[in-house]
Amino acid sequence: MKKGKKKIIIISGPTACGKTSVAIEVAKELDGEIISADSMQVYRFLNIGTAKPDKDEIKEAKHHLIDIMNPDEIYSAGDFANDADRIINKISSKKKIPIICGGTGLYIKALTKGLAAGLPADKELKKEIHQSYLNKDLEILYNELKEVDPATAEKLSPSDKQRIKRALEVYYITGMPISKIHTKHSFSDERYDYLYFCLKRDRNELRKRIEARVDKMIEKGLYDEAKSIYKKYKGKEINAFRAIGYREMISHLKGEVSFDEAVKLIKKATKAYAKRQMTWFKKQKEIIWINIKDEDYEAPAKAIIERAKVFLKMKN
């Protein structure tokens, strides 16, 4: 119980576990609105590959923070926390319940515990630095990071371009290595009063669901969607080009892999991502695990609703 803080409900879990379906049922029962905590659903045009809620799902429950950025724009965990704060205030002012739904664990952490003090918030400056790195060789960037922040460089893979650039960006804007900033910030201050639910499926069942979901994405036109984005932003380094599903299809468009191989790579990458998500969630001590099986979304939704109703009635 966090005295005087707004109450929110969080529903998370690995990709393809059924978060959206469960969250919609919870939102309908609790008179809530859903705030997406998905780092790729914020981008316009990335529809099929990010499994955005469809028109019928959006009609059932209002969704926020979907389709708010263009693929060549930068959106961070800090941006999410700021936007979500504003929307939570708006939802709460209507006496409705804010429901955070998504699998980007860092977004949820930024919202509930805040980010390390001193991380850059100047979007224009960030974009300027981002542009200056576009044509630099990755090895040069990594060696540069080893010079200014060896502790972070040691933790990162030399091929992890996004995090290498992020660490350099933080250093040059704040003058302090990101490793020291994180050490100073314990992430112990709760910003909201919340219940944090995480859906859990049998591992083999989840793997089969991932395979079926990818097959469905292909049927719905993932190739054409990726091709359209590639043509529109060719020559630019954008988030869409690193998103699972799009990067593999773009690799096929470049002639690097066959279509069938691209599909196999999407399935492999999605399974690996789900595994990383579960590793992250298992480290979050406040999580309440909710089992989910087959297409039964009612049972997990009911379990969440029962606990949420008690929580929401409690005075803080």
Q: What are 220-268's pLDDT values in tens digits? A: 999 999 999 999 998 787 877 889 999 999 999 999 999 999 999 999 9
Q: What is the pLDDT of residue 134?
A: 60
Query: b or e along 157-171 (b: 16 or more beta carbons within 10 Å of the residue's beta carbon)?
Result: eeeebeebbbbbbbb
Supply the pLDDT for residue 238.
81
Residues 62 and 191 in one domain: yes
The answer to whether residues 292 and 285 touch, using CB atoms and an 8 Å cutoff, is no
- Is residue 101 pLDDT above 90, yes or no? yes
Distance separating alpha carbons of residues 22 and 308, to the nearest angstrom = 13
Same domain, 96 and 69: yes
pLDDT of residue 42: 96
Q: Domain range for residue 285? A: 7-115+187-218+274-313
* pLDDT confidence band for 23 (50 / 70 / 90): very high
Lowest mean pLDDT among 6-20, 116-130, 135-149, 291-305: 116-130
Is residue 300 domain-resident? yes
Same domain, 29 and 88: yes
Q: Match 């990162």 to its residue by tokens.
A: 156
**For 259-285, how does the pLDDT look when each residue is reduced to its tens digit (9 = 90+)?**
999 999 999 999 999 999 999 999 999
pLDDT at 60 (0 to 100): 97
Q: Are residues 150 and 81 in the same domain?
A: no
User: What pLDDT score does 115 carry?
Assistant: 73
pLDDT band at 119 (very low <50, low <70, confident <90, very high): low
What pLDDT is attached to residue 118?
47
Q: Verify that 200 and 160 share a domain, yes or no.
A: no
Return the CATH number at 168: 1.10.20.140
Specify if 254 maps to a domain. Answer: no
Domain co-membership, 191 together with 179: no
266 domain-assigned: no
Sheet holding 63-64, edge to edge: 63-64, 32-36, 97-101, 7-12, 193-200, 287-291
The tally of domains found in the chain comes to 2
Looking at the fold, whether 48 and 196 belong to one and the same domain comes out as yes
Closest-CA residue to 43 (of 168, 225, 235): 225
Tens digits of residue pLDDT in 38-86: 999 999 999 999 999 999 999 999 999 999 999 988 888 889 999 999 9
How far apart are alpha carbons 209 and 231 in whole angstroms?
A: 31
Q: What is the pLDDT of residue 122?
A: 55
- Indicate whether 303 and 211 sit together in one domain: yes
Q: φ and ψ at 293, to 5 degrees?
A: -140, 140
On the question of pLDDT at 186 being above 70, the answer is no
Same domain, yes or no, for 50 and 142?
no
pLDDT bracket for residue 133 (50, 70, 90): low
Domain CATH for 15: 3.40.50.300
198 and 279: one domain?
yes
Pick the last residue of a domain from 133, 168, 184.
184
Residue 238 belongs to some domain of the structure? no
Res 208: pLDDT:
98
